[in-house]
Amino acid sequence: MAVDTAELVERIWGRDATAWTGRDENRWLGWLDEPQRMRERALELEEFAAGTSEFGDIVLLGMGGSSLAPEVLRRTFGEERLHVLDTTHPAAVRRVAEGFDLERTLFLVASKSGTTLETRCQLDFFWDRVKRADAFVAITDPGSELENRAREQGFRALFAGEPTIGGRYSALSVFGLVPAALLGVDLSRFLLRVDEMVEACRLSEGNPGLELGEQLGQGWWEGKDKVLINPNPGNFGLWAEQLIAESTGKQGKGLVPVPGESAGGPDRQSAEVRVTDPYELGQEFYRWEFATAVAGSIIGINPFDQPNVQEAKDRTNEVLSGHDRGLTPAMSGSVEELLGDAAPPEYICIQAFIDPAREGELDPLIARARETGCVVTHGVGPRYLHSTGQLHKGGPPTGRFVQVVDDPGEELAIPNRDFGFSRLIQAQAAGDFAALKERGKPIVRIRLEDI
């Protein structure tokens, strides 16, 4: 598909929704100039971070766009003070509750909508344990329930997000830069490198974001819909997975990001991650955001919506309410049968609702899936529901799915809820299984212990 690159760049910067589908895309382009706005707030964020020295640990409670950029920042800068809790598995919640000195722990509660179920449950749990408003900080969009709660309960600080930015494009907003300041990142230096990329992405020639976006989009037209991210410095692919999958995976189309996979198939293309110094990470966030917007235009979809994400949430709520109509599944199906005749351009997706500390136990299953010649993508639930879940339901009909569950153990109560974390993660697994099954996706469900 031929693209007039100069015109496309001009239309993107002109906030022209017809660069995509002509619906409401122009409402979601705040990420284009967010770095400029954040330069004006850099001192504010650094002064806030300097005032938190009494805290030994920082725990971020968030999911998807609120957690993945901070996790990549943490790994890239090698700072152990920040811990990202983006799971509802009771074992992981207990490790924080019982293994940290809660009197010296600062909790960042991050949710753009302010209504994210997992984050609200985590907040309720730790608020009940800590009972100190000055140990809590909210990062959320203006007018949200979380903003109201932070004001009413007197949180230590409240940082307002930019409403014209979707979660997966928010890495260079307060959702990424408040955690970065707490990691000790020099925000002025960090954003200076981002500014260089912003200006480069205005060019009609020699535009790094445009070039990557053209490669991704043209590759899709050529049947190369699997995007290899290898090498994967700082686990950059964790963040890029959501950006690419949730942005492009809809209307039966989409790019399938596969961090850590190798080249060697006609359905694959490689995308380079250019981070040789930690302070290059911000500009790489921006390059990939711009590239994804370009790729969305070439593919012909709206890269700023997520029309199928609600399906698993609805099924989860049915299970939690007891009106599940038999949605909670037993172990079902055979992995060997699922993989038996799998072949490219199909992909194998392993979805593990397990304690994240046990993720390494998936390795034998991943290795077996790779023997099919298909690319293999794997994620821990419920994190992936906020990352690649849109792609699995709305994207190309080429996925084969293995859901892996463990025994979440003794229930861990959530204040003011009639379910605990064990019940919640089991309901989320059941809800996503049902959503995929209803769409006719090939899926089996097994125990982690049976791998």
- Find the distance separating the first CA and the last CA of the chain, reported in whole Å: 43
Instruction: Say how far apart CA 327 and CA 430 lie, in whole Å.
Output: 6
Task: Decide if pLDDT at 427 tops 90.
Answer: yes
Domains along the chain? 5-32+190-299 (3.40.50.10490), 34-185 (3.40.50.10490), 310-450 (3.40.50.10490)
Read out DSSP for 24-45? SGGGG-GGGTHHHHHHTTHHHH
Mean pLDDT of the chain: 96
- Rounded mean pLDDT of 421-442? 95
pLDDT at 330 over 90: no
Place of tokens 């380079």: 272
Q: List, for residues 295-318, the tens digit of each pLDDT value.
A: 999 999 999 999 998 888 888 888
Q: Which of 343, 315, 42 is nearest to 191 (CA)?
A: 42
The alpha carbon of residue 301 and the mean position of all alpha carbons in its chain are separated, in whole angstroms, by: 20
Q: How far apart, in whole angstroms, are the C-alpha atoms of residue 253 and residue 33?
A: 28
Cα distance between residue 406 and residue 448, in whole Å: 5
421 vs 90: CA distance, rounded Å: 5
pLDDT of residue 1: 64
Specify the pLDDT at position 328.
Answer: 65
> pLDDT band at 35, cuts 50/70/90?
very high
**How much of the chain, in percent, has pLDDT values that exceed 70?**
98
Whole-model pTM over 0.75? yes
The answer for 171, left when phi > 0, alpha when psi is -120 to 50, beta otherwise, is alpha
Would you state the structure tokens that stand for residue 159, as one six-digit string? 């940082």
Going by pLDDT thresholds of 50, 70 and 90, the confidence category of residue 326 is: low
What pLDDT band is residue 264 in, cutting at 50, 70 and 90?
A: confident
* Between 326 and 101, the higher pLDDT residue: 101
Q: In this predicted structure, what is the pLDDT of residue 3?
A: 73
Q: Please check the confidence at residue 331 and state whether its pLDDT lies above 90.
A: no
- Residues 10-30 pLDDT 10s: 999 999 999 999 999 999 999
Encoded tokens for 54: 């009494």
Q: What is the pLDDT of residues 47-80, one digit of tens each?
A: 999 999 999 999 999 999 999 999 999 999 998 8
Ranges 68-72, 261-265, 363-367: which has the least confidence: 261-265
- How many other CB atoms are there within 10 angstroms of residue 281's CB atom? 29
Q: pLDDT tens, 128-169?
A: 999 899 999 999 999 999 999 999 999 999 999 999 999 999
Question: How confident is the model over 122-132, as pLDDT tens digits?
Answer: 999 999 999 89
Query: In terms of residues, how long is the chain?
Result: 451
Give me the pLDDT at residue 315, please.
87
Q: In what order do the strands lie in the sheet with 105-110?
A: 82-85, 57-61, 105-110, 136-140, 157-160
In sequence order, what are the residues at sequence separation of 6 or more whose Cβ sits closer than 8 angstroms to the Cβ of residue 267?
223, 224, 225, 226, 344, 345, 375
In angstroms, what CA-CA distances link 55 with 66, 86, 107?
21, 21, 10
DSSP alpha helix (H) spans, 187-309: 187-200, 208-221, 236-248, 281-299
Asked if pLDDT for residue 327 goes beyond 80, the answer is: no
Q: Is the pLDDT of residue 325 over 80?
A: no
Q: What is the pLDDT of residue 322?
A: 79
The whole-number pLDDT of residue 324 equals 61
